[in-house]
Each structure stands twice: as structure tokens, then as C-alpha cells.
Amino acid sequence: MFADTGRLHIAVQKSGRLAQYSRDLLRDAGLRIQNGKNELTARVDNFPIDLMFVRDDDIPTFVADAVCEFGIVGRNVLEEFGAGEAEPRFDVAAPLGFGRCALKVAVPESFDYRGPESLAGERIATSYPGLLRRFLADHGVEASVVKMSGAVELAPRLGIARFVCDLVSTGATLEANGLVPVETVLESEAVLVRTRRPLSPAKAELADNLFRRIEGVLATQESKYIMLNAPEEALGEIADILPGAEAPTVIPLAGRPGHYAVHAVCQESVFWETLQKLKAAGASAILVMPIEKMML
Ligand code: ATP
Ligand code: ZN
């Protein structure tokens, strides 16, 4: 579809649940995306990168064929595509922490479910036949899989299938249709995928640069910068409490012999309990600050 112009292409969902998060992530990574929401592509001003806005179902194909070197897509869509492939043609470069959901088997509330064997010989409607078949095979169950492209939750009421296998986040849609989830086929979130096709050296360098920036954004989302004061004898215990911090910086406090300022980047969530523990260990004047940018 694209001649090799030396520009890198990233496939993102055009509209839908992942669309805005995907753009925001790329913006946070420093890409200045030209507007043009209804176009198929958008140029990035400050890098030789183009975005392609497509249906999420097409993203695995585009990345596998290296029409786009990168893509942002749900693990569910990716694994369904992969279920039909002998060898993966892309790598999952990073889980992105948004678009969380799970592919679940659900049964009518009145059904007395006793484990996967209850599905034997039944009809199950789903948009994910590959993943459902894999799940059934893993449990040694034979059932017939009815492929639907949408409104799967209506299948039991329409008499198409007794059970469904559908994406669930809050469970409200299932509940509204009198269905209860009984098995988890796959836990999913959006992921960054990267083609396995070899890239020209210039493109490979750009791809690595982009990937490092995205990693940086992901790292800062959870990370916090902590500053506190502590007496010397408390430093060891405090270092053990700081979540995900490597080698904190310890600086002597002017005019207070035996007292130090401790600065650390914590790469895990910092909770109130953590602060209470730090205080109990002897820390005072504890400050927790967000991190704006980070490159690892
Ligand atoms: P497209 O027009 O791009 O084909 P779509 O209708 O297939 O869009 P969306 O409903 O926008 O897709 O969902 C995109 C992705 O969002 C899903 O593949 C899944 O990874 C994730 N997702 C998160 N929560 C849910 C949910 N409750 N239901 C469906 N998908 C969800
Ligand atoms: Zn889709």
C-alpha cells in the first residue's frame, strides 16, 4: 500500500475504544500529530512518521505485512489473528495499560454451570472463534462455535446459541442480558506491536527511538519522585520500604549532623500506607511528586 519512503507508519484504531488513548500516548511520547480525524492518515510534524487510522481488526495484518511498522491494538484482536498463523509475524513490544477487558464465556443466569464440561455439545456465539476453539481444545471439550461479528450478547435471546463468549469490562452488558460470566478465555489490554520484518537502518533507528520514548511515557505513568528527610540510622529501613526504587540519592542536611535528605524515583505506585511506613521508620517532610518525563 505504501512505497518505502523512509517514513515510519503506525496503525491505530480510527474510532472506538482505543482511538483516543492511542493518540494521547503518541502525543505524550512527543509526536506532534497533524489534525485530520476523518482522514486515513495523519503526518507527524517533528518525525518522519505517519499514522494510519484503520479498523482495529486490520491492524495485525498491517503490522504482520510491514505496511505499518508499529500498531496499537487489543491483545484479544492480536491473539485471534495469531490463532490462525503458523508463526507470529510481529512482536508485542509493550503492554500499554489501557483498553483493559477480558474475553469470557457467559451462560444464562438460570443455567447450572459446573465447569467447562457443561459446554460440551452446546452452541456458543462469539466474535473470537479462534480463541474460543483454543480454550475448548485446552479443556478437552467439544462444542459448536457460532461466529458473530457483533451483538453477541443477544445470541441466547435470539435463539442463535445457548451460550456466548464475549469481551467484558464491567459486566453490565452481560447482566442486562441475563448472562453471567463463568470462564475467562483471555485477559486483554491494548499493546504496542512491532513488525518482525527487517527494517532499513534509518527506519530501525527511528523505530528504536520511538519505542524508547513510549517506554519512557509508560514508566512515568506509575512513577513518582519521592523526597524525605531521615536520620542516618533509619536510612537502611527507608530504602527497603521505597517501592521499586534503585539506589536513592542521600544528601547531608546543612546544619543537622546525622540527618539526610533522601531522593528516589519509585517505579511502582506509592500508596498512603507506604508513606505511613516511611514515617514510622523515622522519615519526615515526605514529598511525593509526579514525573513529567523520563528516559530509561
Ligand atoms: P473497529 O471499528 O475498529 O472494528 P470495534 O467495534 O471492533 O472497532 P471497539 O468496541 O472500539 O472495537 O473495541 C476496541 C478494543 O477495545 C477491543 O478489541 C478490546 O481490546 C478493547 N475493549 C475494552 N473494553 C471493552 C469492552 N467492554 N468491550 C469491547 N472491547 C473492549
Ligand atoms: Zn473491530
Task: Say yes or no to pLDDT of 78 above 70.
Answer: yes
- Cα 151 from Cα 148, distance rounded (Å): 8
Q: How far is CA 258 from the centre of its chain?
A: 45
Is the same domain home to 262 and 123? Answer: no
Is the same domain home to 149 and 205? Answer: no
| Residue 38, domain member (yes or no) | yes
Is the same domain home to 111 and 90? Answer: no
Is the same domain home to 23 and 162? Answer: no
Task: Say yes or no to pLDDT of 33 above 90.
Answer: yes
Average pLDDT score, the chain: 93
Ligand 1 site, residue 127, Cβ cutoff 6 A: no
Q: Which domain holds residue 240?
A: 223-290
The CATH number covering residue 16 comes to: 3.40.190.10
Is the same domain home to 16 and 47? Answer: yes
Residue minimizing CA distance to atom 30 of ligand 1:
167
The total of other beta-carbon atoms located within 10 Å of residue 102's CB is 17
- Cα 284 from Cα 275, distance rounded (Å): 10
Q: How far is CA 263 from the centre of its chain?
A: 30
Better-scored residue on pLDDT, 37 or 130:
130
- Cα 9 from Cα 31, distance rounded (Å): 13
3-state secondary structure of 148: coil
The Å distance, Cα 248 to ligand 1 centre, comes to 41
Q: How many domains is the chain partitioned into structurally? A: 3
Task: Say yes or no to pLDDT of 270 above 90.
Answer: no
Residue 156 has what DSSP assignment? Answer: H
On whether the CB atoms of residues 210 and 9 are closer than 8 A, the answer is no
Backbone phi, then psi, for 213, in 5-degree steps? -65, -40
Is the same domain home to 44 and 86? Answer: yes
| Residue 2, domain member (yes or no) | no
Is the same domain home to 88 and 32? Answer: yes
Ligand 1 site, residue 76, Cβ cutoff 6 A: yes
| Residue 204, domain member (yes or no) | yes
Task: Say yes or no to pLDDT of 63 above 50.
Answer: yes
Task: Write out the H or E segment, with its range, that includes residue 289.
Answer: strand 284-290
| Residue 3, domain member (yes or no) | no
Is the same domain home to 107 and 93? Answer: no
Task: Say yes or no to pLDDT of 296 above 80.
Answer: no
Is the same domain home to 179 and 40? Answer: no
Predicted pLDDT of residue 268: 79
The Å distance, Cα 71 to ligand 2 centre, comes to 14
Residue range 134-181, pLDDT digits in tens? 999 999 999 999 999 999 999 999 999 999 999 999 999 999 999 999
Overall average pLDDT of the 219-223 stretch = 86
Ligand 1 site, residue 181, Cβ cutoff 6 A: no
Cell 515510519, located at residue: 8
Give 256's pLDDT tier (boundaries 50, 70, 90): very high
The CATH number covering residue 239 comes to: 3.30.70.120
**CA separation (Å) from 233 to 56, 119, 239, 253?**
55, 62, 11, 14
Give 38's pLDDT tier (boundaries 50, 70, 90): low
Is the same domain home to 146 and 281? Answer: no
Overall average pLDDT of the 226-252 stretch = 92
Give every strand in the sheet of 163-168, ordered side by side: 144-147, 123-126, 163-168, 101-108, 179-188
Predicted pLDDT of residue 2: 47
- Cα 126 from Cα 124, distance rounded (Å): 7
Predicted pLDDT of residue 36: 66
| Residue 296, domain member (yes or no) | no
Better-scored residue on pLDDT, 272 or 136:
136
Predicted pLDDT of residue 1: 46
Predicted pLDDT of residue 267: 81
| Residue 113, domain member (yes or no) | yes
Ligand 1 site, residue 60, Cβ cutoff 6 A: no
Ligand nearest the Cα atom of residue 99 = 1
Task: Write out the H or E segment, with its range, that includes residue 283.
Answer: none
| Residue 46, domain member (yes or no) | yes
- Cα 277 from Cα 283, distance rounded (Å): 9
Instruction: Name the domain boundary from 173, 188, 203.
Output: 188
Overall average pLDDT of the 285-293 stretch = 91
Which residue, among 94, 100, 7, 97, has the nearest Cα to 49 in the 3D structure? 7
> What percent of the chain clears pLDDT 90, i.e. is strictly above it?
85
The Å distance, Cα 27 to ligand 2 centre, comes to 23
| Residue 1, domain member (yes or no) | no
Ligand 1 site, residue 229, Cβ cutoff 6 A: no
Is the same domain home to 30 and 88? Answer: yes
Task: Say yes or no to pLDDT of 37 above 80.
Answer: no
Is the same domain home to 20 and 81? Answer: yes
Task: Say yes or no to pLDDT of 116 above 50.
Answer: yes
Predicted pLDDT of residue 243: 82
3-state per-residue secondary structure call for 182-232: EEEEEEECEEEEEECCCCCHHHHHHHHHHHHHHHHHHHHHHCEEEEEEEEH
